[in-house]
């Protein structure tokens, strides 16, 4: 009896196991089917298209902030159709020109991997073409002065009516408020976003940084807004407006300085050199020179050759866990146990003297020698690299961060590739388009105009530069 019971139990256990397996299989199959999930690609990594394949962008951007955003989306695989004014195009095509008659690096380095169509957005036929583009695109990106898009007739209401799925993404200088109507360029944003007042040396004027945190920084913020809106659209079926104000973008990047503003209420900012120098703090976050913005003190120090090479410097961080290694390296082993130097709080008022001592050592080595010696000991340091060194750095070429592309009128040039690396979506960094290079192709293949219609459009003047008046007409 016991034997039979045991056998029955074993049988039912096996059946349960089999059923469970079946249920799991069935559920997984059903789940995949009901969610409409695509099957995993059979193609190897990097061969199954790019992240934003299928996303079409009506790129109404110019200068730097908007083009940074759309170039990044193009690198990610979006079909980026840049709409430009006939005969003129993006104003940067001709700004800071280095090769006569060719598009400037300002333009080419911000508009790679895009297509260009010329359309006069104020021409009746041009408006018709734009409406067709609105219907066929997923995202419209623009960074015109406030109100310019509305003046073209492309109000949110008009766009949303034509294509409720469209996402309309804008960069403006300021968000809603007293300055919302202002035109804004990079340095205005750096100043209004709190970066300039906190950059530079205490005894000097506010400084703008070389990094384009107002333009390119805001473009990056906008790109994140766009992909988020695309993701939400999968759920809602609706497009939405995405707004990035340059002031907000800069402030987001300068948030540690707003952190310090609030810390000021509770006493001096002890990691700022001015604390060690006994200089009292005022009411606002001061400029901190080359002080590190975090809890580990750092400074820029001279290296061998600094007398003639403006970039023979290194950023040196006196990270607490490696303090003893630093003392040995610079020939100050006594500082390991000296109560004035042994702990981070004891060192704070003495930072100037400490960095002077470290500099006596760094001045005997090149920045790359300091880097090699310190890295072996886990001491965080960073060489001040010139743009020349960066342009020639083989590892940046190897990773596709710096890419050389060819151009029909200016020849080969360097551009910054995709700094965001996706393992299954390989960045396709191509040259920038010539003005209107893809007008015909887009009219026919994207918008479906017939030969006759294309001829009519060409004759209408909506896609061509206005004829220069003849001498007789001008007289
Ligand atoms: N066909 C016809 N007209 C066109 C056109 C086209 N394809 N493309 C642009 N235009 C027109 C616009 O409609 C606008 O005309 P309007 O003023 O009569 O309405 C005009 O060109 C100029 O546009 P605008 O944006 O005002 O350019 P600007 O050179 O005077 O100003 C900025 C440049 C950058 C200051 C301004 O665009 C701005 O503040 N943008 C938002 C913030 C920003 O992105 N700043 C950083 C730039 S890197």
Supply the residue whose CA is at minimum distance from atom 35 of ligand 1: 183
Coil vs helix vs strand at 422: strand
What proportion of the chain, given as a percentage, has pLDDT over 90?
Answer: 86
Long-range contacts of the stretch 302-309 (C-beta < 8 A, 24+): 302/359, 302/362, 302/363, 303/362, 303/363, 303/365, 303/366, 303/367, 303/369, 303/370, 303/383, 304/363, 304/364, 304/365, 304/366, 304/369, 305/366, 306/363
Read off the pLDDT of residues 192-212 as tens digits, 9 standing for 90 and up: 999 999 999 999 999 999 999
Name the residue of 69, 145, 155, 216 whose CB sits within 8 Å of the most ligand 1 atoms, as the mutation to test its pocket: 145
pLDDT at 294: 79
- Quick one: average pLDDT of 342-365? 95
- Ligand 1 atom closest to the CA of 173, numbered from 1: 42
Question: What is the Cα–Cα distance from 85 to 96, expressed in whole angstroms?
Answer: 19
The CA-based diameter of the chain, rounded to the nearest angstrom, is 119
Question: What is the Cα–Cα distance from 273 to 343, expressed in whole angstroms?
Answer: 17
Ligand 1 pocket: which residues have CB below 6 Å? 63-66, 83-85, 119-122, 143-145, 148, 151-152, 171-173, 183-185, 215
Read off the pLDDT of residues 49-91 as tens digits, 9 standing for 90 and up: 999 999 999 999 999 999 999 999 999 999 999 999 999 999 9
Whether the CB-CB separation of 197 and 215 falls below 8 Å is answered with: no
Cβ neighbors of 24 (< 8 A, separation 6 or more) are none
- Ligand 1 atom closest to the CA of 66, numbered from 1: 44
Lowest mean pLDDT among 31-40, 159-168, 306-315, 448-457: 31-40
Name the residue of 144, 216, 218, 439 whose CB sits within 8 Å of the most ligand 1 atoms, as the mutation to test its pocket: 144
Q: Work out the pLDDT band at 23, boundaries 50, 70, 90.
A: very low
- Quick one: average pLDDT of 116-126? 97
Q: Work out the pLDDT band at 473, boundaries 50, 70, 90.
A: very low
Tell me the catalytic residues: 215
Ligand 1: centre distance to CA 335 (Å) = 60
- Quick one: average pLDDT of 11-38? 58
Is the model's pLDDT at 165 over the cut of 90? yes
Supply the residue whose CA is at minimum distance from atom 3 of ligand 1: 121
Q: What is the mean pLDDT of the chain?
A: 92
Is the model's pLDDT at 127 over the cut of 80? yes
Question: What is the Cα–Cα distance from 416 to 402, expressed in whole angstroms?
Answer: 5
Between 383 and 468, the more confident residue is 383
Lowest mean pLDDT among 96-100, 291-295, 434-438: 291-295
Supply the residue whose CA is at minimum distance from atom 36 of ligand 1: 145
pLDDT at 329: 97
Long-range contacts of the stretch 44-47 (C-beta < 8 A, 24+): 45/423, 45/424, 46/423, 46/424, 46/425, 46/426
pLDDT at 428: 86
Ligand 1: centre distance to CA 435 (Å) = 17
């Amino acid at each position: 009896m016991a034997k039979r019971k045991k056998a029955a139990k074993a049988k039912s256990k096996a059946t349960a196991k089999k059923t469970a397996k079946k249920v799991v299989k069935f559920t997984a199959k059903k789940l995949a089917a009901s969610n409409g999930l695509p099957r995993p690609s059979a193609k190897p990594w990097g061969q199954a298209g790019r992240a934003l394949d299928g996303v079409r962008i009506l790129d109404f951007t110019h200068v730097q902030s908007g083009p940074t955003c759309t170039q990044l989306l193009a690198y990610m695989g979006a079909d980026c159709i840049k709409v430009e004014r006939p005969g003129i195009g993006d104003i940067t095509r001709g700004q800071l020109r280095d090769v006569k008659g060719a598009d400037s690096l300002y333009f080419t380095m911000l508009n790679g991997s895009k297509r260009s169509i010329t359309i006069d957005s104020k021409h009746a036929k041009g408006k018709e073409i734009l409406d067709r583009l609105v219907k066929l695109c997923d995202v419209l990106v623009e960074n015109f002065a406030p109100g310019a898009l509305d003046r073209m007739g492309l109000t949110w209401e008009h766009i949303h009516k034509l294509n409720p799925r469209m996402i309309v993404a804008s960069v403006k200088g300021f968000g809603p408020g007293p300055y919302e109507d202002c035109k804004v360029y990079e340095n205005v944003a750096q100043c209004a976003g709190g970066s300039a007042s906190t950059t530079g040396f205490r005894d000097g004027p506010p400084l703008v940084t070389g990094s384009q945190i107002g333009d390119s920084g805001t473009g990056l913020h906008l790109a994140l807004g766009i992909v988020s809106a695309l993701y939400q659209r999968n759920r809602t079926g609706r497009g939405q407006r995405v707004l990035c104000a340059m002031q907000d973008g800069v402030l987001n990047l300068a948030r540690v300085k707003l952190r310090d503003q609030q810390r000021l209420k509770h006493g001096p900012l002890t990691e700022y050199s001015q604390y060690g120098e006994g200089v009292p703090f005022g009411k606002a976050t001061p400029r901190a020179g080359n002080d590190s913005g975090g809890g580990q003190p750092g400074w820029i120090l001279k290296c061998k050759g600094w007398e003639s090479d403006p970039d023979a410097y290194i950023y040196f961080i006196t990270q607490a866990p490696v303090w003893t290694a630093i003392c040995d390296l610079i020939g100050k082993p006594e500082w390991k146990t000296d109560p004035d130097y042994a702990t981070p709080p004891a060192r704070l008022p003495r930072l100037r003297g400490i960095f002077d001592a470290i500099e006596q050592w760094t001045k005997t080595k090149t920045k790359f020698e300091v880097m090699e010696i310190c890295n072996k000991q886990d001491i965080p340091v960073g060489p001040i690299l010139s743009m020349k060194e960066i342009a020639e750095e083989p590892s940046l070429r190897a990773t596709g961060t710096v890419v050389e592309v060819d151009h029909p009128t200016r020849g080969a040039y360097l551009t910054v590739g995709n700094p965001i690396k996706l393992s299954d979506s390989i960045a396709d960094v191509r040259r920038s388009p010539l003005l209107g290079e893809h007008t015909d192709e887009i009219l026919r293949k994207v918008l479906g105009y017939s030969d006759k219609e294309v001829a009519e459009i060409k004759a209408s003047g909506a896609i061509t530069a206005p004829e220069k008046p003849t001498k007789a007409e001008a007289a």
